[in-house]
Structure 1
């Protein structure tokens, strides 16, 4: 392993005052030092202009020193300063320093300046540790939000000396030091065409062709080349080929995650690597318990990008460990975890419970994108989580000004879909109405339509905005450049119009033009109703035949003039007699049976979805006697006789006998 000898290479740099500096200066004429500094350092950072080199030394208080008698350093205007160790108590020789202590000290620093100040106190520095120092500089700069190094760091003699050694002697570096240095320099946006980066890349390629790199080094190099040259670089194929030949048992958990990231970057070639991916997916089951929150998030993201639907056992196991790490995820990591769960359809009650506690405690501090993704997850999986919905409602009321139109829609729409009114519903709708009045024109037409339609699902028709959305101007914007309006938008407009007629009789504004209305809300592709559960319907039909005496006394899947489709319709005359479904005269009452299967309810609950709730509400307002037959009541019946008695109590609760 090569040593970056700071005593030799830093001696001519103005920030160092260590033993042996003057001896080294005597071995290098001043003009030569100027030439090396200017010619070798300048190409790395072409934007930085360097002044002619000056022989000045500074101690911790930045006092200038000059040469006296050829072998001593003295502060200007001060007595001779002979005890070098007094100016910095941390100066040490790494030959006697444990490597773990070095890295522990390095990880304590929170700025590039602190890292460089620490490095310059060292007499010698192994190349792997020098690369680690560059990596730490990269980490602290990334945390600051700007990965580009400040000019003062670029001009630091310590930083330049580190880079100088890597450029001049890459063949002497260890594999770990070589790939780590290249990785850090790439992340720090060092000029990719500089001799420094080109030399390191060339040395990495030489060692790769000789097969001299270990698994971890291959992973680091692969990610570096992806960032440097893109996923299409030829060298990356050789790296993946060598990784395929390695035994997975020698991979650390971090290496496995890095391997996923490499394959993720080459997602367009996933078919070529699917056999290898299957092996990795199976092996990864054994390392899940060792993964950090960040690694779990990255692995799930890679599985999504690589479309690993067959890796569901791995997703389920990752989900179990996600529960333990929810408080430790960053906002971005949590967002990607939930995004993966949405993609794979993963639903875990322990995850929901933990997420509820986390959101309830930290909702006001979570990023809006994370909250939106959580609401999307609840909406997609039909999860009626009152703690989450209540916390989001409170967040919206207090922070609506910080939200974009799309974020507002993403937060509010699930309330309508899940048919839930939070405790602060009055404040929620007042705030929403204020936002819409203030920023109406900033909402994309379809986003605005979805938002207003979701309000109508929970019995809050947006009456103050119906005149605007039924206007020809808005309808033209909604249609855009298409030749006609899409079916879903027309259905939402029609249901909003129906709400204005049935639930807002005081509304006297514009009506929806006939050409924008649909005839049925039940369509194969974009339905506003849930199709009837066939098996549940079959059971109910048998009971109805026994109860009514014949199949002719009820009709199925009846499309009403009001766009709704009734599962089963029964007609009664004025005396309560059941009429054949073919009769159209003397009808006194129509009974609408809603045979509600599991898909019409929120997940694992008896709470109707918003689209089913509005349907039953509107049917009642239209004069139907709505009778709900939920699946969870049918499932507990043990015999055909019990079914008949159940249906009789539902249809004719006040009559002891039934007439037909």
Structure 2
């Protein structure tokens, strides 16, 4: 492909990009070739084609070797074409954000009243509002220097209100059910929440509240976790409320990272997953990663319970040393 880049049509290159993204192939030489093609041809390409060519970079969480020219070209083209295809525009910006690049001039445009009014009555208004809501949250969390227009509160919606399609389709291949059963036996089903959607719309596998001494439980009724017991979730009595007031509560997200959450044959999370984790950490959540390549080595529910117990104990040690 690199040798034929001059003779390849945008349509063919878009097909190559689609294949790379679909199969999560982090083939850097191929990706760099697409980036080179984009820098040379972007002015002549439709926004929807550019969107297809950019997507594999955010999907693979990969900044090309010519990243300065790549981002500069995308910004200059988007400044001219932002209004032509608003959905493609916000998709391209989302890809940039996932790669940690924040184009100020374009954000000024897409958060402007003119852009909002252009999309709000269109057939794709809801999906654009979802993207803009997530972009606005990302600006809040990651782009402190930005001082331009922002999305008005009345237009904000949750980005996702249910599991991602890939997670639904692959549910039967996921380790999530096994982890759920092990967690239920370990701490009791009242002590965690499953499938919570956290603002600005991030879907999570398991959400727990844990204090420094290892107590686990619902946010409101505090319960105690004593590593080593078969059923470790019991109501605290007496001074339990006082303990809760004195000790810091950690909001912990347990994340079951299945095969499709990673680039193919690599331990690099796909861009959307990586950005979700980044944002949840910035929002104050502690993330416990449960990678499939660790889970697949476990044999039976008892080993999974032991594995989860070790993960929770590791957290305690981290928090204890931080406080110490």
Q: Do they superpose with TM above 0.5?
A: yes
Aligned to 2:132: 493
- Say which is worse superposed, 446-455 or 403-412, in terms of deviation: 403-412
TM-score (norm 2): 0.79
Structural mapping, 1:197-216, within 5 Å: none
Distance 1:425 1:454 in 2: 13
**1:580 deviation in Å?**
1.5
- Tell me what 1:560 maps to: 198
For 1:93-112, what aligned pairs fall within 5 Å after superposition? none
Aligned-residue offset at 1:605? 4.2
Structure-to-structure mapping, 1:104-503, within 5 angstroms: 359-437=1-79, 439-440=80-81, 443-482=84-123, 485-503=124-142
In the TM superposition, what whole-angstrom CA distance separates every residue of 1:526-550 from its partner, at most 9, and x where no partner exists? x59845846512211233245x443
| Cα shift readout 1:238-297 (whole Å, capped 9, x = no counterpart) | xxxxxxxxxxxxxxxxxxxxxxxxxxxxxxxxxxxxxxxxxxxxxxxxxxxxxxxxxxxx
Q: Which has the higher contact order (CA 8 A, sep 6+)?
A: 2
Q: How is 1:582-601 mapped onto 2 (pairs within 5 angstroms)?
A: 582-583=219-220, 586=245, 588-601=249-262
**Distance apart, 1:576 and its partner CA:** 3.1
Contact 1:570 1:578 in 2 (8 A): no
1: CA distance, partners of 2:135 / 2:220: 32
Q: Is the 8 A contact 2:134 2:159 kept in 1?
A: no
SS at match of 1:519: coil
Partner residue in 2 for 1:519: 158
Report the more deviating stretch, 626-635 or 455-464: 455-464
What is residue 572 of structure 1 aligned with on the other side? 210
TM-score scaled to structure 1, two decimals? 0.41
- When structure 1 is superposed on structure 2, of 532-541 and 371-380 the one drifting more is 532-541
Shift of 1:473: 0.9
Tell me how far apart the structure 1 counterparts of residues 52 and 199 of structure 2 sit (CA, whole Å). Answer: 32
Tell me the CA shift for residue 469 of structure 1. 0.7
Once the 2 structures are TM-superposed, how far is the Cα of residue 633 of structure 1 from its aligned partner?
A: 1.5
Counterpart position of 2:308: 647
Distance 2:187 2:162 in 1: 32
Q: Distance in 2 between matches of 1:478 and 1:655?
A: 48
After superposition, the C-alpha distances for 1:401-441 in whole angstroms (9 at most, x for unaligned) are 4433333222112212332222222221122223333x235
Native 8 Å contact 1:529 1:612 kept in 2? no
Alignment correspondent of 1:229: none
Q: Please give the alpha-carbon distance, in whole angstroms, between the structure 2 residues aligned to 1:624 and 1:582.
A: 14
Q: Which runs of 5+ in 2 are unaligned?
A: 222-243, 318-324
Secondary structure at the residue paired with 2:195? strand
Larger Rg: 1
* C-alpha contact (below 8 Å) 2:21/2:60 kept by paired residues: yes
Contact 2:131 2:159 (C-alpha < 8 Å) held by counterparts: no
CA contact (8 A) 1:530 1:612 kept: no
Confirm or deny: 8 A CA contact 1:569 1:592 kept in the other structure. yes
Aligned residue in 2 for 1:504: 143
Q: CA deviation at 1:517?
A: 1.6
After TM superposition, give the deviation of residue 622 of structure 1 in Å.
0.5
Change (3 A) 1:393 1:622: same
Asked if structure 2 preserves the Cα contact closer than 8 Å seen for 1:463 and 1:500, the reply is no
Aligned to 1:550: 188
Contact 2:161 2:197 in 1 (8 A): no
Per the alignment, in what secondary structure is the counterpart of residue 505 of structure 1? Answer: coil
Deviation at 1:625, TM superposition (A): 0.6
Q: Give per-residue Cα distances to partners, 1:557-581, cap 9 Å, x unaligned.
A: 22324322321111122x3332311
**Relative to structure 1, is the Cα distance of residues 481 and 409 closer, same or farther in structure 2, using a 3 angstrom cutoff?**
closer
Deviation at 1:445, TM superposition (A): 1.6
